[in-house]
Structure 1
Amino acid sequence: MDKIVSLVVEKTGISESQAQTAVITVANFLKDKMPAGMAGQVDAYLKDEGGAGEGFGDVAGKLGGMFGKK
């Protein structure tokens, strides 16, 4: 999860603590909306961070746009 948090910090300019809260909030939201069998994959992804710079990079970039960062 550290890579994702760092990416959100980089793209948005928010603090590491705020970025961690954002990542956890989004992950919990996704898990609540997914079928039970798939929700565990979010946790597994965050632990392994396989390809973290890819899928989450787009989301972090869009968050950065909201904060006037690119």
Structure 2
Amino acid sequence: MNELIQRLIDKVGLSEQQANTAMQTVVGFVKEKVPAPIAAQVETVLAGGSEGGGALGSISGALGGMFGKN
């Protein structure tokens, strides 16, 4: 998550506090919209968890399925 926060700071010009608030808002929104197992994986990936690519692949596949793309 720190990498994304840093990108918001660098590319958008937000303060660290604003970037953190934006990230928490987006993460909360995504987690509300996806099934619980995927929400947990979102948190793992954004926290830099060891599942990394595998979890990200699972998330993107599941999200694609939700939007009719497999």
TM over 0.5: yes
- Are 1:9 and 2:19 an aligned pair? no
Task: Provide the rounded CA distance (Å) in 2 between the counterparts of 1:15 and 1:30.
Answer: 22
- Are 1:32 and 2:44 an aligned pair? no
Structure showing greater relative contact order (alpha-carbon pairs closer than 8 Å, 6 or more residues apart):
1
What amino acid maps onto 1:22 in structure 2?
A: A
Task: Provide the rounded CA distance (Å) in 2 between the counterparts of 1:21 and 1:13.
Answer: 14
Bigger Rg, structure 1 or 2: 2
Q: Kindly, what percent of the aligned residue pairs are identical?
A: 43
Runs of 4+ aligned structure 1 residues displaced above 6 Å come to: none
The runs of 5 or more residues in structure 1 that have no matched partner are 52-70
Residue 48 of structure 1: SS of its match in structure 2? coil
> TM-score if structure 1 supplies the norm length?
0.66
Count of residues in correspondence between the two structures? 51
Partner residue in 1 for 2:20: 20
> TM-score if structure 2 supplies the norm length?
0.66
The runs of 5 or more residues in structure 2 that have no matched partner are 54-70
